[in-house]
């Protein structure tokens, strides 16, 4: 998959939606949140560059050109906010501390935030192909079989099983020495030690991407604080919730003031005259509502993303989950008849499928249905039982007279 295709996928919704090689929490981050941020960026950008984002109350002696100059200057230079009940500080340094430095950059900030949400997905799309298997192709083939004829469906599932079997056998460890054994032990403890031959490349990469999603959603609040200044955003939603809980209407936020002040100098011959005008920022009416919504949306996404990451950590670290996951499908087809079959099932999950194989099965399950996955597991089970090493294992388990 080329980088050109990845960035070209933004051109249409179908391509923007991309592949089904992740779960719905990932799509909430890299798809739905990105679309929201881009819509808000276009809306605020249109209000700035197409409409009239600032209006200033100028002295009566200002002509039309003076008024246009004042508006352009105050928009570019930054305005500052002093509450109506407070007197304007005489010291210009005190005024500078209250400057609003963000409102011209809101569309760019939103686009940058959208890129940060998309970045983990780009990492996953660009690197998962190095595992040796086309995860997107496997998931798409499995999803397409749901509407196929029974005969074609069975052939496709069998084809997928053969493909996965060849991939698993190709990327298996055939040479053993001290370094290999130590690496295998380490990979069992930490799957982030990505290694194809140890069966931890895909799951390790996916967990790394999950960490990127978690770091990103937490850093979004710090990024906004950095852009907008002095704990601008951390407690914004809490203040809104406090107003709603007290039964009062949401008051005008000091973070998004609509009426501000602007100082500018006009040079006339050898004289330098400073003016202070009062300006209104209509765009902040929309910025306020947009960032209120984004605060609650980010908290919602953060809770789901962190919870999903903990779930995947539990699923990966607890090795009993691998056997239990496979066993439930084999029990449906009545393939486990005794302790010998259960031992072979454990070897099937731990030594044959391993973490990467189970990860592919889980992705197929999330994007298709349990019936198809049961058939796929049964095909893989049949292929595994026909291997010489497994037949020998089964013979060793049989009681001798």
pLDDT grade, residue 233 (50/70/90)? low
Please state which of the ranges 131-140, 190-199, 203-212, 319-328 shows the lowest mean pLDDT: 190-199
Please list, residue by residue across 102-112, b when 16 or more beta carbons sit within 10 angstroms of its beta carbon and e when fewer do. Answer: bbbebbebbbe
- β-bridge partners, 274: 265
pLDDT digits (tens, 9 = 90+) for 85-108: 888 888 878 888 888 878 888 898
Alpha-helical (H) ranges within 145-245 are 150-170, 178-189, 201-228, 236-245
Q: pLDDT at residue 312 above 80? A: yes
Determine the average pLDDT of the residues in 379-395.
Answer: 81
Please state which of the ranges 51-55, 87-91, 230-234 shows the lowest mean pLDDT: 230-234
Please state which of the ranges 4-18, 142-156, 362-376 shows the lowest mean pLDDT: 4-18
pTM value is 0.81
pLDDT at 217: 93
Determine the average pLDDT of the residues in 224-243.
Answer: 67
Determine the average pLDDT of the residues in 259-272.
Answer: 82
Q: pLDDT at residue 191 above 60? A: no
pLDDT at 194: 59
CB-CB contact of 71 with 55 (8 Å):
yes
Please state which of the ranges 70-84, 148-162, 176-190, 275-289 shows the lowest mean pLDDT: 176-190
pLDDT at 400: 46
What is the rounded CA–CA span in Å between residue 219 and residue 231?
A: 13
Please list, residue by residue across 359-385, b when 16 or more beta carbons sit within 10 angstroms of its beta carbon and e when fewer do. Answer: bbbbbbbebbeeebbbbbbbbbbebbe
Q: Please classify residue 240 by burial: count the beta carbons closer than 10 Å to its beta carbon, then call 0-12 exposed, 13-18 middle and 19+ buried.
A: middle
In the structure encoding, which two tokens stand for residue 257, read together? 């003031």
pLDDT grade, residue 235 (50/70/90)? low
Q: Are strands 271-280 and 259-268 parallel, antiparallel or unpaired?
A: antiparallel
What is the rounded CA–CA span in Å between residue 42 and residue 39?
A: 5
Determine the average pLDDT of the residues in 148-154.
Answer: 84
Please list, residue by residue across 324-337, b when 16 or more beta carbons sit within 10 angstroms of its beta carbon and e when fewer do. Answer: ebbbebbeeeebee
Sole residue written with tokens 């893989």: 380
Q: pLDDT at residue 37 above 50? A: yes
Q: pLDDT at residue 324 above 80? A: yes
- Residue 55's contacts (CB-CB under 8 Å, 6 or more residues apart) are 71, 279, 280, 282
Q: Which long-range contacts (CB under 8 A, 24 or more apart) does 187-193 make?
A: 188/319, 191/316, 191/317, 191/355
What is the rounded CA–CA span in Å between residue 100 and residue 291?
A: 16
Determine the average pLDDT of the residues in 355-368.
Answer: 87
Mean pLDDT of the chain: 80
In the structure encoding, which two tokens stand for residue 286, read together? 């929309």
Determine the average pLDDT of the residues in 273-298.
Answer: 86
pLDDT grade, residue 303 (50/70/90)? very high
pLDDT at 111: 93
pLDDT grade, residue 64 (50/70/90)? confident
């Amino acid at each position: 998959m080329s980088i050109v295709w990845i960035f070209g996928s933004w051109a249409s919704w179908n391509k923007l939606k991309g592949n089904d090689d992740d779960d719905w929490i990932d799509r909430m981050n890299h798809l739905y949140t990105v679309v929201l941020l881009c819509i808000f960026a276009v809306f605020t950008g249109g209000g700035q560059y197409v409409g009239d984002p600032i209006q200033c109350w100028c002295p009566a002696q200002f002509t039309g050109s003076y008024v246009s100059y004042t508006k352009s200057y105050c928009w570019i230079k930054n305005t500052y906010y002093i509450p109506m009940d407070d007197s304007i500080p005489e010291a210009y340094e005190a005024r500078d501390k209250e400057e609003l430095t963000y409102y011209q950059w809101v569309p760019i900030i939103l686009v940058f935030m959208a890129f940060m949400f998309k970045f983990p997905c780009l990492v996953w799309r660009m690197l998962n192909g190095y595992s040796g298997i086309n995860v997107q192709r496997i998931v798409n083939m499995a999803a397409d079989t749901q509407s196929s004829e029974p005969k074609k469906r069975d052939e496709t599932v069998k084809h997928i099983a053969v493909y996965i079997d060849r991939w698993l056998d190709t990327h298996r460890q055939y040479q053993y020495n001290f370094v290999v054994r130590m690496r295998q032990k380490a990979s069992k403890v930490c799957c982030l030690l990505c290694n194809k031959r140890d069966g931890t490349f895909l799951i390790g990469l996916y967990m790394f991407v999950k960490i990127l999603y978690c770091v990103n959603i937490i850093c979004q609040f710090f990024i906004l604080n950095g852009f907008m200044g002095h704990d601008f955003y951390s407690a914004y939603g809490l203040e809104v919730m406090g107003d709603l809980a007290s039964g009062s209407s949401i008051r005008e936020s000091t973070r998004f003031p609509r009426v501000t002040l602007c100082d500018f100098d006009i040079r006339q011959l050898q004289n330098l005259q400073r003016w202070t005008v009062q300006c209104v920022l209509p765009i902040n009416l929309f910025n306020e509502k947009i960032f209120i919504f984004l605060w609650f949306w980010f908290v919602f996404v953060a809770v789901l993303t962190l919870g999903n990451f903990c779930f995947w950590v539990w699923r990966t670290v607890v090795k009993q989950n691998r056997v239990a996951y496979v066993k439930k499908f084999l029990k449906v087809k009545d393939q486990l008849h005794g302790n010998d079959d259960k031992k072979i099932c454990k070897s099937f999950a731990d030594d044959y499928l391993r973490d990467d194989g189970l990860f592919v099965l889980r992705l197929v399950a999330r994007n298709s249905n349990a019936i198809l996955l049961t058939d796929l597991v049964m095909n893989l089970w049949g292929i595994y039982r026909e291997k010489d090493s497994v037949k020998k294992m089964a013979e060793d388990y049989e009681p001798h007279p």
